[in-house]
Structure 1
Amino acid sequence: MIRTLTAADLSAYRALWMMGVSQEPSAFLLTAEEVVATGEAALLAKLAGGEVIGWFQDEALMGFLAMRRGGVTRLRHMADIGPLYVHPQARRAGAARALMAAVEAEASAAGILQLELCVDVENAPARALYERLGFVQIGLRPRSVVIDGVPRDDLLMLKQLDTPRNA
C-alpha cells in the first residue's frame, strides 16, 4: 500500500531514513549526524505538507519518496524528487517503481510538467531504475557531494511528463 506520510508516521519515517543513511550514505544528501539533528518540527512540517509518500508492507513502512514542487512562480512547473529509499528486505518487490509511479501521477494531476532528480554516478541500480522509468541524463554535477573526504559526482536526470516517452 502507498499513501502520504503523516505525523503519525514520524518515528517510522525517521528510523527508515536513518537506516538508509547509515547503510547507504552515497544515496542521501544528509549525513547520519544531520538526520539525527533534524528537528521534529521540521520533519512534521515536511509531512504536513504532503511531501513524502510511503510504501507499506503489512502496515510497516518499508520505503519512501519525497517530492518538492518548485516554490516560486517560474519554477512551479517542475518538482525535485528524492530521496527514494526502500528497505533492503523489500527490494525487488516493485516498491521503488510503485513509489515513482505514485509521485508521477500526483505530479501530473497537479499540473507539474517535469520531474528532476540527482543520483550518484556510481549508483548503477538507481540509475537503471530511473532510465527504465523514462528519465534522461541532462547533466553531470562534478563533486556534488564529498563523503568522508571523497568527492562524488551526481547525474542530473529529468522526466518530462507532458511528452510521450518515445517522442
Structure 2
Amino acid sequence: MARLRRIRLEALRAEPSSFASRFEDWGILSDDEWRQRLNDPVFIAFNNGEPIGIMGVKRFRPRKMAHRATLVMVYLRESFRSTGFAKNLLDVVIDFARGEGILQIELAVNAESLAASRFYQRHGFIEVGRIPGGLLDHDGEIDDVIMVRRLRE
C-alpha cells in the first residue's frame, strides 16, 4: 500500500490539472479510506523496484453497462515518458480488461494535454466527444476530451 500511496500522491502533486482528484484530498486519507477508494484494479509500473507509473481500470457497475470500463489514475513519471513504459502499462490493463470480459475502455483526458491525447490515439482510442469545462482548475475551466477504445478484435 505504501508504494501505491507514494506514486498516486506523486501523480497528483506533479500533474494537478490532469486529475479530477486533488493531492490535498488524497493526502489525508487513512489506510481504510485508501482501501475503500481502491476497490477497482490498479496497476503500478516499476523501475528497479521504484514505482514510476500508475493506471487503474474502473468497471461500470450496472449490468447493462458492465462491458465498459473507465481508465483512471493514469500517470507516468516524466523522466520515463517516451520509453515504452506507458505502452506496456496500458497493454497490461487492456489484457486484464479483456480477461474480465470488458469490451470497451473509456477515458477523459485534459484537452490541453496534447501529448496524452496523441498517446491514446496511437494506441487505438478515438475521440467521441468533449465536456466543456469538465474540470475546474486554479486557472479556470478545462475541457475533458472523451475517448474510447473497443477491445473486440
Instruction: Please give the range of the TM-score, normalised by the shorter of the 2 chains.
Output: over 0.9
TM norm structure 1: 0.85
Q: Indicate the SS of the match to 1:82.
A: strand
1:44 partnered with 2:27: no
Indicate whether 1:15 and 2:6 are aligned. yes
In 2, Cα distance between the equivalents of 1:160 and 1:37?
Answer: 37
Say if 2:25 is the partner of 1:34: yes
Given the two structures, how large is their TM-score scaled by the length of structure 2?
Answer: 0.93
Distance 1:110 1:148 in 2: 38
Equivalent of 1:71 in 51, 55, 61: 61
How many residues end up aligned between the 2 structures?
153
Q: RMSD value over aligned CA atoms?
A: 1.5
Give the letter aligned to residue 11 of structure 1.
A
Are 1:111 and 2:101 an aligned pair? yes
| Equivalent position SS for 1:85 | strand
Which runs of 5 or more residues in structure 2 are unaligned?
A: none
Instruction: Quote the sequence identity (%).
Output: 25
CA distance in 1, matches of 2:118, 2:139: 27
Find the aligned partners of 1:59 and 1:46 in 2 and give their Cα distance: 24
Please tell me whether the aligned partners of residues 40 and 59 of structure 2 are also in contact (alpha carbons under 8 angstroms): no
1:101 paired to 2:91: yes
Matched, 1:25 2:7: no
Cα pair 1:82 1:117 within 8 Å, conserved: yes
Cα deviation, residue 57, structure 1: 0.8
> Which amino acid is 1:33 matched to?
E
Matching residue of 1:156: 146
- Taking the aligned partners of 1:125 and 1:149, their CA distance within structure 2 comes to 20
C-alpha distance after superposition, 1:41-63 (max 9, x if no partner): 1322455x451011111111111
Tell me how far 1:35 sits from its aligned partner: 1.6
In the alignment, is residue 61 of structure 1 matched against residue 63 of structure 2? no
**CA shift at 1:96, angstroms?**
0.9
For the residues of structure 2 that align with 1:89 and 1:149, how far apart are their CA atoms?
A: 26
What secondary structure, in the 3-state scheme, does the structure 2 residue paired with 1:38 have?
coil
Answering whether residue 114 of structure 2 is matched by residue 127 of structure 1, we say no
CA distance, structure 2, for counterparts of residue 21 and residue 95 of structure 1: 19
CA drift at 1:99:
0.9
Q: Does structure 2 retain, via aligned residues, the 8 Å contact 1:114–1:158?
A: yes
Compute the displacement of 1:18 (Å).
1.6
Deviation per CA, 1:55-103, whole angstroms, max 9, x where unpaired? 1111111111010111110110000111211112222221111111111
